[in-house]
Each structure stands twice: as C-alpha cells, then as structure tokens.
Amino acid sequence: MQIIETIAGLRKRLENERTVAFVPTMGNLHEGHLQLMRGARKHAGCVVASIFVNPLQFGPTEDYDRYPRTLKEDCKKLEGLVDAVFAPSVSEMYPEKQTVYIELPGIASELCGAARPGHFRGMATVVLKLLNIVQPHTALFGKKDYQQLHIIRRMTRELNLPIEIVGCETARAADGLALSSRNQYLTDAERAEAPFLYQTLQTLRERMLDGDRDIEKFERQAVETLTSRGWRVDYVAIRNQSDLMKADSQHLVILAAATLGRTRLLDNVELDLA
C-alpha cells in the first residue's frame, strides 16, 4: 500500500490501472469506513482511499480545528485493504483560494443544509475535485450521510461523470448507534443515550408499517420526545428516497439530525411501503 501526498504522484501511480474504485474519507477511520474499503475491492482491481479533512465544508463555528486527525493509525487500518492512500495537504488541494464552487439544487439547503449553510457546497466541490484527481470507475459512500449521497449521485448524473456511485449500508455498534468519527466526542452519559436516535427512527418506521401514515404527527412527536430527553433537534423528516422531497411515494426514508452535548449525530432508516 502506498501513501501518496501529491496529485501528480497519485496520477502517476494510477496511470496503468484498468479499473479503480475510490472511497473518499476525512480519516479517523472506523469499521464503517473499512466496510466501504472491502466493498470497493469487489468493484475494481485497484482500490484508492483518500484522507482529507476538507476546510470548505465546515462552517466558521464548526469542528474543523478539533476534527480528529489520525493519519498514522488510519494507514495501519488500511494496510491490506487498499492499494493507495491519497493524503494531500490543504495547500495541495487548494494551492490558491478556491473561487469555483458547485452550485447545488434546492434540496442542499434543506435538512442538514438548513443547519449547516454552505456545507454541501463545500462537500460537493471537494468530491468533484477528488473524482477528477482519482478518475475512478466506481466511488463508494456510506448511507449514513444520506443527503450527501443523494447530492453526489445527482452531481454525478447531471454533470455526466463516467463514475458509478455506490451507496453502502450504515455500520452500527451493537446497540444500534451509527458509527461516526464524531461519536468519540460523546461523554459516557451521552454515549449511553445516543442509540435512542436510531430507536426513535425504528419506532416511526414500525408505526408507518403498521398503517398509520400521519407523517407530520410522527415528525412532531419524535422531535418532542428527543427534546424532552435533552437532545437539540435539527430535524426529523420523512421524505422520498428518490429526491428527498415531501413523502409522496412508497419508498421513503426517515432522517434525523440532533445534537447531544456538543456532538451532532445523524441517522436514517429506509422504509418501503410497497
């Protein structure tokens, strides 16, 4: 496994590869990331992971500075799973001030986009840069970041990128908590409470499957319950899987984002009514 810090070095390493699968990450890797790497191996002869904490996708009051940077440990975990790790510096990715950004559809300003203005614009811009640098045949992303995956799929489709985007199931701890690099910010008490987010989504899912379809009531009740237990809720929303708009199809997803202490957690569950 090679660790490569420059764009030129990565292009040289990949020039003779016939098929490349790519997993972009911000590092601090956990089992969820490693599952993506294992999945990538099924799609191509060469697997590339990137590790880059992208300043463009963090707001001014967010955790860019304290985001865990653990390159050495990450590379140990990737040994044997990937062929190359692309770990550029900020100046390699942004040698000059980035002035060209991806303009995104309205959905990027809803849900997480409403709570984190500019986040998806910065995310999509770096993902497009990374896809242009790596030029993979396939790129894999976790479904935990459901809205991110949706935006990347749309960007890839609408900009005619010749890349297959694969969404992979969320990896969970034994108690259901979705694995995330940010879970390590949780105190012990918060860690004990954290699986309640997933339990809330599962309860909504079961009630919808039992035939009650009062979406607004479910969303409101879930927010009230979480708030009463000390969560600061950005949203609980039931939307179409296909476009993340108002739920008017049989294939739905229940999404939530809420903060415990100083840790913002995301989760979602899919729900097929047909």
> In the complex, which residues of this chain contact ligand PAF (CB under 6 A)?
24-26, 54, 57, 123, 126-127, 145, 148
Q: b/e per residue, 209-239, with b = 16+ CB within 10 A? A: eeeeeebeebbebbbeebeeeebebbbbbbb
Which one from 30, 33, 137, 251 is the annotated catalytic residue? 33
Rounded to whole angstroms, the Cα distance separating 147 from 123 reads: 11
> Minimum Å distance from CB 246 to ligand PAF?
26
> Minimum Å distance from CB 16 to ligand PAF?
26
Rounded to whole angstroms, the Cα distance separating 179 from 33 reads: 9
> Minimum Å distance from CB 148 to ligand PAF?
6
Tell me whether residue 33 is one of the annotated catalytic residues: yes
Q: Answer yes or no: are the C-beta atoms of 199 and 176 closer than 8 Å.
A: yes
Q: Answer yes or no: are the C-beta atoms of 20 and 134 closer than 8 Å.
A: yes
Nearest Cα residue to 182 out of 40, 89, 53 = 53
- What amino acid occupies position 216? E
> Minimum Å distance from CB 126 to ligand PAF?
5
Q: Answer yes or no: are the C-beta atoms of 142 and 168 closer than 8 Å.
A: yes
Strand order in the sheet with 2-4: 2-4, 84-86, 46-51, 20-25, 138-142, 164-168
> Minimum Å distance from CB 230 to ligand PAF?
27
* CB-side neighbour CA atoms (13 Å) of 176: 15
> Minimum Å distance from CB 211 to ligand PAF?
36
By beta-carbon proximity to ligand PAF, the closer residue of 123 and 186 is 123
**Which sequence positions are flagged as catalytic?**
33
